[in-house]
Amino acid sequence: MIIEAVFVFGAVNAVFEFVLLGMLPPRTRLRLLGSETACMVLHALFLVMNLFIHWGTLIGTMSAVIAFITSMLTVHVARKMFGFIRGDRFYHVGWFVYTDKELM
């Protein structure tokens, strides 16, 4: 029963992170997804945020670790879905294709 709660919390965190990424303007989202440093900061923020919220319980610590793992999975799926901009010049197309007008 405890482990199911941890996995459900991880799924909720993944959906929350994906919605937050989807709310960003396309150019900002693509630059964030193209930067390895920004992606690692995003993973670390989700880990720290969840550790801060759930500090002191075994389930909370496990949930924070699962949130970190699902954050890596969420960013990988977002890169495939939205694409990313690498080096401020190279647009790697995802499943959604943006026009030049949308990226300006």
Query: How many angstroms separate the CA atoms of 79 and 61, rounded?
Result: 27
Rounded Cα distance, 77 and 48, in Å:
22
Across the range 72-98, mean pLDDT stands at 76
pLDDT at 3: 78
Segment 32-82, tens digit of pLDDT:
888 888 888 888 888 888 788 777 777 778 877 888 888 888 888 888 887
Summarised one tens digit per residue, pLDDT across range 1-36 is 677 878 888 888 888 888 888 888 888 888 888 888
Confidence tier at 104 by pLDDT (50, 70, 90): low
Nearest-angstrom CA–CA distance, 55 and 36: 28
- Tell which wins on pLDDT, 55 or 88: 55
Indicate if the alpha-carbon torsion angle 68, 73, 76, 82 is positive or negative.
Answer: negative
Q: Could you count the other beta carbons within 10 Å of the beta carbon of residue 51?
A: 17
